[in-house]
C-alpha cells in the first residue's frame, strides 16, 4: 500500500477532477432541462409553446374577468394584444387584483387555456413583477412610473 | 436635534474609519502609537455608530414623522415592537444596521485580540476600516436615513404589514451577524497576504470568528426560513429563491472554510485554499447584499429594493473583491504548504468535504445568476427553480452526507478505511435496520424518500458512534467510558453535535417534502374535512379588531388521530393604514409535526376556501439548524479556541481524543 509521493498526488488530483466533472455535468444537464421560460400571452402565441411544457406566464389580469367558484378560479391574463384564460385551483395571493400584474406557473393545455399550478404572491402593493413590467413596456401598455 | 446628532456621529465614524485605514496601512509595521490608534479608533467607531443607530431608533419610538424614513415606514398606532423593528424594515435603516454590525465586529477584534501580533491586528483593523468607510459612505451619500421633512406630516405610512412580525426583530440582525462576521475572516485573509504571515497560528486566530459568524448565519437562515413558512402562507419553507440562495451561498462556503481551517490549524496544509475560501465567503455575503438590495433578480422576498443604489453596491463589491483577488494572485504563490498526507486520511476527508461544498456553492451560484446572464445575452426570460436545485444540489449532497460519519474517524496523515468501517459497524447496522423498518412501515414505496431518511439516520447515528468510539466504552468499560465521554474536548463534542444536527435537518427535509399531505377545499360552517387521519371541523368566522388592523378570523376544531381535540384560528387581515391585506396562517403543533391552515376567500353565504397541509416532522428542519448553531457556540467555549491561548493547552488534550 506504500504509495509514492507522486502517486498520492495523482490520486488526490484525479479524485478532485472526478468530483468536479460530476458537478459540472450535473449543472449543465440541469440547466438544459430544468429551467422554466417566462412568456407573455403574445409570446406564447408567437413561439408556439407546446402544451404540457412547464412555463411561467405573466401579464395583467383583465378587469372583470376573474370568476370564482369555491376554490376554482379562472381569470384572463393579457398584455395589451393577446389574451389567455388561466385556471387555478387554490387560494390566490392576498394581493391578486383585477387590472394588476400577475405571474403564474403552469402549462398550456390542449384546449388553449393555461392551467396554473401556482400564482406567485407579491409582498408590496406597489410591486410589479419585473418580467411583467418589461413585457408591458415592450407592448407599450406600461402605465407605471419610468425607472 | 437627536437625529442631527446621530447623522453627525455617523459622519464622524466615516471620517475616523478613513483615518484608521490610512494610518493602519501606512504604519502597520511600526506598531506602537499607530497600532494603539487603530485599536482605539475601532472601538470609538462602535460607540459613534451605536449612538447614530440609537438616535434613529429613538425617532421611530417617539414617532417623529419629521424624519422622512419614519414617515415612510412607521405609523403612530403600530405596536411598539414593530415601531422598533421598522428601523431596519427598510433599505436605509437596514444598511445602517449593516454598518453597526460591521463596527461591532471591528470593536470586538480590537478588544479581544490583545494577544495577536501588533502588525497582524493593525492590518486586520485597517481592512475593517476600509469596509466601514465604504459602507458608511454608502449610507451617507446614497441611503441616508436622517433626512427630514418640513413641515412634518401628521402621521406615517406604516411598515409593510408582511413585515409586522417578530421575525423581523430576529431574522435580519442574526443574518447580518453572520454575513458581516465573515468580513473579519476576509480582513484576516488580506492581512495574511500583505504581511506574509500565514501559518497554523493564523488559522487558530481566524477560527473563532468563522465559527461565530457561521453559527449566527445558520440561525439567521433558519429563522428566515421559518418566518417565510408561517408568514407567506403557502406552507413552503424553502423556495430556492435568489434571496434565499444569496444567504445560503456564504453559508456553504463558510462551512467549507470552517473545515479547511481545521486542516490548516492542525497540519499547516491547505493554506492557499483556506485564504481563498475566506475571501470567497465574504464576497458571497456581499453578493447576497447586492442581490437583495438591488432587486436585479425577481424574488418573493424583495422589499424596498432600489436598482440605482444596487449599482453602487456592485461597484464597491467589485473594488473590494477585485482588490482582494489581485492581492491573492500576487502573493499566494509565495505560500508554501506543509504536511504531506495520503488520499485516505483526515485531511483527505476534509478536502472531499470542501470539494462537495464548493461544487454545491458553484451550482447554487450558477442557478442564481444564470437567468441574469441569459437575459443579457439572448433576451430570454427564464426562471431557474426548485427542479434545477433539487437535481444539482441534491445529487451533490448525497455523497457528502454518506461520507460525513467517516471523516472524524479517520486519522491524520494516513487513515485506514477498513478499520474505520469496522468501528462504524454499529452505526451501519443500526442505519440499515432503521431504513428497513421505515420501508416496511411505508409498505415498500417506489420512491427515494426512505433512502433519504436512511441518509439522515446514518449521519445522526454516525455522530453518536463517534462520541462512543472516542470514549472507548468497549475497551474501558461503562463507568470509565462515561467519565471519558465527559472529559472529551468541547471541540470533539461540537463536531459530533453539529453533524448530528445535519442529520436532523435532512430527516426533516425528507419528511416534510415527501410525506406532507395537502388539500384545497371549500368548507361551509359546520362542515369538516379529513387529512392525514386528522379531522378538521370549520366552526365559522368572526370579525375582530387588532391594534392596527381588522381581521376575519376562522375558527377550526382539529381532532387528532388519537382523539384529542384542539382549536385553531387562521386570519385574513386588512391593515388600517396601508389597506393591505395579509393572511395569517393557523398552525397547530403536534410533537414535531404541524397542521397548517390557510383561510381563503369567501364562498357562498357562510363558506370559505380553505387550504390544509399536514406537515409531518417539519420542525426537525429548524431544530437541526438550531443544533448546528448550538454546536458552533459550544465549540467557541473550548479553551483551546480562546484567541491567543497558549500553545501548551493543546498538548493537554486527553488521550481519549486520539
- C-alpha to C-alpha distances, B653 to B38, B350, B557, B656, B658, nearest whole angstrom: 36, 22, 57, 8, 9
φ and ψ of A101, to 5 deg? -70, 150
Q: What is the mean pLDDT of residues B168-181?
A: 93
Stretch (H or E) spanning B208: helix B200-231
Q: Over 50: is that where the pLDDT of B257 sits?
A: yes
**pLDDT, tens digit, for every residue of B393-404?**
999 999 999 999
At residue A102, the pLDDT reads: 86
Lowest-confidence pick of A40-49, B40-49, B57-66: A40-49
User: Chain A contact for B340, CB < 8 A?
Assistant: yes
Within 13 Å, how many C-alpha atoms sit on residue B418's CB side?
0
CA dist., res. B327 & res. B335, Å (int): 13
At residue B640, the pLDDT reads: 63
Q: Which residues of A touch B380 (CB under 8 A)?
A: 37
Q: What is the mean pLDDT of residues B152-167?
A: 87
CA dist., res. B500 & res. B174, Å (int): 22
Q: Which residues of B touch A15 (CB under 8 A)?
A: 343, 352
Using the beta-carbon criterion (under 8 Å), do B388 and A34 form an inter-chain contact? Answer: yes
Say what percent of chain B tops pLDDT 70: 94
CA dist., res. B78 & res. B210, Å (int): 38
Residue A145 C-alpha, separation from nearest chain B C-alpha, in angstroms: 14
SS3 assignment for B474-527: HHHHHHHHHHHHHHCCHHHHHHHHHHHHHHHHHHHHHHHHHCCEEEEEEEECCC
**pLDDT, tens digit, for every residue of B192-214?**
999 888 888 888 889 899 999 99
Q: Where are the alpha helices (DSSP H) in B74-165?
A: 80-85, 91-112, 118-142
Count how many pairs of residues, chain A against chain B, have C-beta atoms within 8 Å: 134
Residue A48 C-alpha, separation from nearest chain B C-alpha, in angstroms: 15
At residue B647, the pLDDT reads: 43
Stretch (H or E) spanning B277: helix B271-294
CA dist., res. A73 & res. A67, Å (int): 6
Q: Over 90: is that where the pLDDT of B184 sits?
A: yes
The helix/strand count (H/E) of chain B reads as 20, 10
Cα–chain-centroid distance for residue B229?
16
φ and ψ of B435, to 5 deg? -65, -40
Specify whether the CB–CB gap between B583 and B572 falls below 8 A: yes
At residue B430, the pLDDT reads: 93
Is CATH 1.20.120 the right assignment for the domain spanning B1-153? yes
C-alpha cell recorded at residue B8 = 453627525
Specify whether the CB–CB gap between B132 and B106 falls below 8 A: yes
Residue B646 DSSP one-character state: -
Q: Over 80: is that where the pLDDT of B233 sits?
A: no
Q: What is the mean pLDDT of residues B125-153?
A: 92
Coil vs helix vs strand at B538: strand
Facing residue for B303 by CB, picked from A16, A124, A147: A124
What is the mean pLDDT for each group of 10 consecutive residues in chain A (147 residues)? Answer: 70 83 88 86 87 88 89 90 91 84 90 90 57 67 46
At residue B415, the pLDDT reads: 82
Q: Over 90: is that where the pLDDT of B332 sits?
A: no
CA dist., res. B264 & res. B279, Å (int): 16
Residue A101 C-alpha, separation from nearest chain B C-alpha, in angstroms: 14
Using the beta-carbon criterion (under 8 Å), do A121 and B232 form an inter-chain contact? Answer: yes
ipTM of the assembly?
0.83
User: Chain B contact for A15, CB < 8 A?
Assistant: yes
CA dist., res. B592 & res. B617, Å (int): 5
C-alpha cell recorded at residue B258 = 470552517
CA dist., res. B500 & res. B504, Å (int): 6
pTM of the model: 0.92
Give the number of other Cβ atoms within 10 Å of residue B473's Cβ: 17
Q: Over 60: is that where the pLDDT of B326 sits?
A: yes
* A residues 103-142 closer than 8 Å to B (CB): 120-121, 123-125, 127, 129-131, 134
At residue A127, the pLDDT reads: 52
pLDDT tier for residue B582 given thresholds of 50, 70 and 90: confident
User: Chain B contact for A7, CB < 8 A?
Assistant: no
CA dist., res. B642 & res. B658, Å (int): 22
Q: Where are the alpha helices (DSSP H) in B332-472?
A: 346-378, 386-403, 417-423, 425-442, 449-471
Specify whether the CB–CB gap between A96 and A90 falls below 8 A: no
Residue of chain B minimizing CA distance to A58: B381
Q: What is the mean pLDDT of residues B626-653?
A: 69
Q: Over 70: is that where the pLDDT of B654 sits?
A: no
Using the beta-carbon criterion (under 8 Å), do B362 and A36 form an inter-chain contact? Answer: no
User: Chain B contact for A28, CB < 8 A?
Assistant: no
At residue B183, the pLDDT reads: 96
**pLDDT, tens digit, for every residue of B452-477?**
999 999 999 999 999 988 887 777 77
Mean pLDDT of chain B, nearest integer? 88
Residue B17 C-alpha, separation from nearest chain A C-alpha, in angstroms: 34
**pLDDT, tens digit, for every residue of B340-358?**
777 788 888 998 999 999 9
At residue B181, the pLDDT reads: 95
B103-106 long-range Cβ contacts below 8 angstroms, 24+ apart: B103/B13, B103/B42, B103/B45, B103/B46, B103/B48, B103/B49, B103/B50, B103/B132, B104/B46, B105/B180, B105/B181, B105/B183, B105/B184, B105/B209, B106/B42, B106/B45, B106/B46, B106/B132
Within 13 Å, how many C-alpha atoms sit on residue B646's CB side?
4
At residue B650, the pLDDT reads: 40
At residue B146, the pLDDT reads: 95
**pLDDT, tens digit, for every residue of B543-580?**
999 888 999 999 999 999 999 999 999 999 999 888 88
CA dist., res. A2 & res. A10, Å (int): 14
Within 13 Å, how many C-alpha atoms sit on residue B203's CB side?
23
Residue of chain A minimizing CA distance to B339: A5
> Angle, nearest 10°, between helix axes B386-403 and B346-378?
170
Using the beta-carbon criterion (under 8 Å), do A27 and B366 form an inter-chain contact? Answer: yes
Q: Select the more confidently predicted residue: B603 or B504.
A: B504
pLDDT tier for residue B297 given thresholds of 50, 70 and 90: low
SS3 assignment for B578-629: CCCEEEECEEEEECCEEEEEEEEEEECCCEEEEEEEEECCCHHHHHHHHHHH
Nearest to B601 by CA among B536, B568, B554, B558: B554
pLDDT tier for residue B248 given thresholds of 50, 70 and 90: very high
pLDDT tier for residue B597 given thresholds of 50, 70 and 90: very high
CA dist., res. B134 & res. B140, Å (int): 10
Amino acid at each position: 500500500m506504500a504509495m509514492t509521493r507522486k502517486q498520492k498526488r495523482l490520486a488526490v488530483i484525479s479524485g478532485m477532477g472526478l468530483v468536479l466533472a460530476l458537478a459540472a455535468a450535473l449543472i449543465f444537464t440541469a440547466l438544459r432541462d430544468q429551467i422554466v421560460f417566462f412568456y407573455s400571452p403574445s409570446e406564447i402565441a408567437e413561439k408556439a409553446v407546446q402544451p404540457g411544457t412547464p412555463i411561467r406566464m405573466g401579464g395583467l389580469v383583465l378587469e372583470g374577468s376573474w370568476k370564482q367558484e369555491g376554490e376554482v378560479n379562472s381569470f384572463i391574463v393579457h398584455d395589451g394584444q393577446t389574451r389567455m384564460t388561466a385556471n387555478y385551483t387554490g387560494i390566490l395571493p392576498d394581493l391578486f387584483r383585477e387590472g394588476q400584474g400577475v405571474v403564474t406557473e403552469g402549462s398550456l393545455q390542449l384546449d388553449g387555456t393555461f392551467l396554473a399550478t401556482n400564482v406567485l404572491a407579491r409582498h408590496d402593493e406597489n410591486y410589479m413583477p419585473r418580467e411583467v413590467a418589461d413585457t408591458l413596456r415592450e407592448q407599450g401598455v406600461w402605465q407605471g412610473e419610468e425607472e | 436635534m437627536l437625529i442631527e446628532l446621530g447623522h453627525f456621529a455617523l459622519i464622524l465614524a466615516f471620517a475616523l474609519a478613513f483615518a484608521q485605514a490610512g494610518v493602519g496601512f501606512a504604519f502597520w509595521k511600526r506598531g506602537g502609537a499607530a497600532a494603539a490608534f487603530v485599536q482605539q479608533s475601532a472601538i470609538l467607531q462602535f460607540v459613534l455608530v451605536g449612538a447614530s443607530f440609537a438616535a434613529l431608533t429613538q425617532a421611530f419610538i417617539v414617532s417623529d414623522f419629521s424624519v422622512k424614513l419614519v414617515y415612510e415606514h412607521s405609523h403612530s398606532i403600530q405596536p411598539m415592537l414593530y415601531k422598533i423593528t421598522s428601523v431596519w424594515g427598510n433599505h436605509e435603516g437596514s444598511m445602517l444596521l449593516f454598518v453597526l454590525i460591521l463596527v461591532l465586529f471591528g470593536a470586538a477584534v480590537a478588544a479581544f485580540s490583545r494577544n495577536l501580533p501588533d502588525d497582524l491586528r493593525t492590518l486586520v483593523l485597517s481592512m475593517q476600516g476600509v469596509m466601514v468607510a465604504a459602507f458608511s459612505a454608502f449610507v451617507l451619500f446614497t441611503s441616508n436615513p436622517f433626512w427630514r421633512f418640513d413641515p412634518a406630516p401628521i402621521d406615517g405610512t406604516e411598515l409593510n404589514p408582511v413585515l409586522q412580525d417578530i421575525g423581523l426583530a430576529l431574522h435580519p440582525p442574526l443574518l447580518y451577524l453572520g454575513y458581516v462576521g465573515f468580513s473579519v475572516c476576509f480582513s484576516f485573509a488580506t492581512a495574511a497576504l500583505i504581511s506574509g504571515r500565514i501559518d497554523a497560528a493564523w488559522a487558530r486566530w481566524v477560527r473563532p470568528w468563522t465559527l461565530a459568524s457561521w453559527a449566527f448565519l445558520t440561525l439567521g437562515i433558519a429563522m428566515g426560513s421559518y418566518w417565510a413558512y408561517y408568514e407567506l402562507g403557502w406552507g413552503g419553507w424553502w423556495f430556492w429563491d435568489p434571496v434565499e440562495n444569496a444567504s445560503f451561498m456564504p453559508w456553504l462556503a463558510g462551512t467549507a472554510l470552517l473545515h479547511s481551517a481545521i486542516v490548516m490549524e492542525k497540519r499547516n496544509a491547505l493554506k492557499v485554499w483556506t485564504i481563498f475560501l475566506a475571501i470567497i465567503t465574504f464576497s458571497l455575503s456581499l453578493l447576497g447584499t447586492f442581490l437583495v438590495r438591488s432587486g436585479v433578480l425577481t424574488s418573493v422576498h424583495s422589499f424596498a429594493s432600489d436598482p440605482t443604489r444596487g449599482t453602487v453596491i456592485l461597484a464597491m463589491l467589485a473594488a473590494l473583491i477585485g482588490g482582494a483577488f489581485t492581492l491573492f494572485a500576487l502573493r499566494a504563490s509565495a505560500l508554501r504548504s506543509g504536511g504531506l498526507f495520503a488520499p485516505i486520511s483526515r485531511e483527505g476527508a476534509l478536502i472531499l468535504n470542501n470539494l462537495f461544498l464548493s461544487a454545491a456553492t458553484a451550482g447554487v451560484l450558477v442557478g442564481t445568476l444564470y437567468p441574469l446572464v441569459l437575459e443579457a445575452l439572448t433576451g430570454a426570460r427564464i426562471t431557474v427553480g426548485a427542479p434545477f436545485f433539487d437535481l444539482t444540489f441534491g445529487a451533490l449532497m448525497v455523497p457528502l452526507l454518506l461520507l460525513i460519519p467517516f471523516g472524524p474517524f479517520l486519522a491524520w496523515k494516513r487513515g485506514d478505511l477498513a478499520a474505520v468501517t469496522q468501528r462504524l459497524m454499529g452505526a451501519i447496522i443500526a442505519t440499515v435496520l432503521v431504513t428497513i423498518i421505515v420501508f416496511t412501515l411505508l409498505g415498500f414505496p417506489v420512491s427515494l424518500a426512505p433512502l433519504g431518511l436512511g441518509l439522515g439516520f446514518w449521519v445522526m447515528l454516525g455522530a453518536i458512534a463517534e462520541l462512543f468510539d472516542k470514549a472507548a466504552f468497549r475497551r474501558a468499560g461503562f463507568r470509565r467510558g462515561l467519565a471519558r465521554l465527559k472529559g472529551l474536548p468541547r471541540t470533539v463534542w461540537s463536531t459530533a453535535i453539529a453533524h448530528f444536527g445535519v442529520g436532523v435537518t435532512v430527516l426533516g427535509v425528507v419528511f416534510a417534502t415527501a410525506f406532507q399531505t395537502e388539500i384545497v377545499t371549500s368548507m361551509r360552517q359546520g362542515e369538516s374535512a379529513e387529512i392525514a387521519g386528522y379531522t378538521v371541523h370549520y366552526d365559522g368566522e368572526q370579525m375582530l379588531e387588532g391594534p392596527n388592523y381588522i381581521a376575519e378570523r376562522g375558527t377550526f376544531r382539529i381532532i387528532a388521530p388519537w382523539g384529542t381535540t384542539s382549536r385553531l384560528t387562521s386570519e385574513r387581515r386588512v391593515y388600517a393604514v396601508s389597506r393591505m391585506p395579509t393572511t395569517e396562517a393557523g398552525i397547530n403543533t403536534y410533537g414535531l409535526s404541524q397542521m397548517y391552515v390557510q383561510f381563503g376567500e369567501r364562498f357562498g353565504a357562510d363558506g370559505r376556501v380553505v387550504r390544509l397541509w399536514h406537515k409531518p416532522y417539519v420542525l426537525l428542519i429548524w431544530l437541526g439548524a438550531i443544533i448546528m448553531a448550538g454546536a458552533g457556540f459550544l465549540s467557541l467555549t473550548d479553551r483551546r479556541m480562546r484567541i491567543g491561548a497558549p500553545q501548551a493547552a493543546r498538548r493537554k488534550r486527553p488521550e481519549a481524543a486520539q
